[in-house]
Amino acid sequence: MLAPAKPKNEENRLASLYALRILDTDKEERFDRVTRLAKKLFNVPIALISLVDKERQWFKSSVGLAVKETTRDISFCGHAINQDKAFIIEDTLKDQRFFDNPLVTGFPNIRFYAGHPITSPSGENIGTLCIIDTKKRTLSQDDVTALTDLASLVSTEISSLQLANIDELTNITNRRGFKRLSQHSLEVASRQNNICHLAYFDLNDFKLFNDNYGHTIGDKVLKIFAEQLKNTFRVSDICARIGGDEFVVLLTDTQLETANQAITRFANNLILVSKALRLPAEISFAHGVATYDKHKHINIEHLLDAADMAMFKNKKHNKPNSY
């Protein structure tokens, strides 16, 4: 057996995959519809949408296969993402890379595999749409074209999913996307007993930026605020603009002291950027932090309300943690 090689752009590829926050999410009809169609169109027992993670392949959609993931080192899709066209193995028993692969010698007894890469919005191969059979097969050129078209459809769905959840001005997650992504993160945290904190930010005197300096400057301030959120907080944290001048960050699996330290760094970064860009006024904010309690916060809306209330109290009383 030959384990798949890592693509040359592996670091960027994984960053694009993680930015989508699609791993370990629930089944979605938009993707299941494609795998059902692929299974019927090609008359195969198994059709999958596989996303290739750092050490595993995880199935966003699967028809004919009950498992949710396998290790990457035995995956066929790990090979398929190394090229930009369909990767086809007509008979695994005659291929030196796969004849002794445990997925061939044991369940699900793969004899034929065809997978086409699916891409992230920025163009990296993050996984495949693949079809699998327990008997050897040959695909016609029309079949290959059909598989390519279906994979392109999956890539388009992934892009549209991201675009629907992105704030157009700041290019970070919008309120809709935040609620979807953070609810999933809270459910994971609840199962694993991880600590989560929600930081709620409200820009100080933002209306004055627009009134005194114009909306162009106001938009620039919002973009800078969002950019510094992304630069300061971890990739695993969910940053979002949920209102005109309101932003939030869900910090997952972290201590409160660490969260407060990150917020302090963020405030200092904003001061430095304001000076460096010679903005007409310094960017500052009020904020509040709520710690997730699975017994008290039924869903992300409850946690948002708690963080908003904490921010409002700090702003009203001009507490020291209102920067």
pLDDT digits (tens, 9 = 90+) for 196-237: 999 999 999 888 888 888 889 999 999 999 999 999 998 889
The three-state secondary structure class of 46 is strand
pTM: 0.74
Cis ω on the peptide bond leading into residue 108 (within 30° of 0)? Answer: yes
The three-state secondary structure class of 47 is strand
Residue 193, phi-psi category: left (phi > 0), alpha (psi -120 to 50), beta (remainder): left
CATH class of segment(s) 10-164? alpha beta
Token pair of 94 as six digits: 């005659």
Q: Beta partners for 246?
A: 202
Position 164 confidence tier, pLDDT thresholds 50, 70, 90: confident
DSSP state of 81: T
The CATH homologous superfamily to which domain 175-317 belongs is Reverse transcriptase/Diguanylate cyclase domain (3.30.70.270)
Determine contact, residues 46/39, Cβ cutoff 8 Å. yes
Look at 156-160, 209-213, 269-273 and tell me which has the smallest mean pLDDT: 209-213
Q: How many residues does the chain have?
A: 323
pLDDT for the residue numbered 323: 42
Q: Beta partners for 87?
A: 115
* Domain locations in the chain as residue ranges: 10-164, 175-317
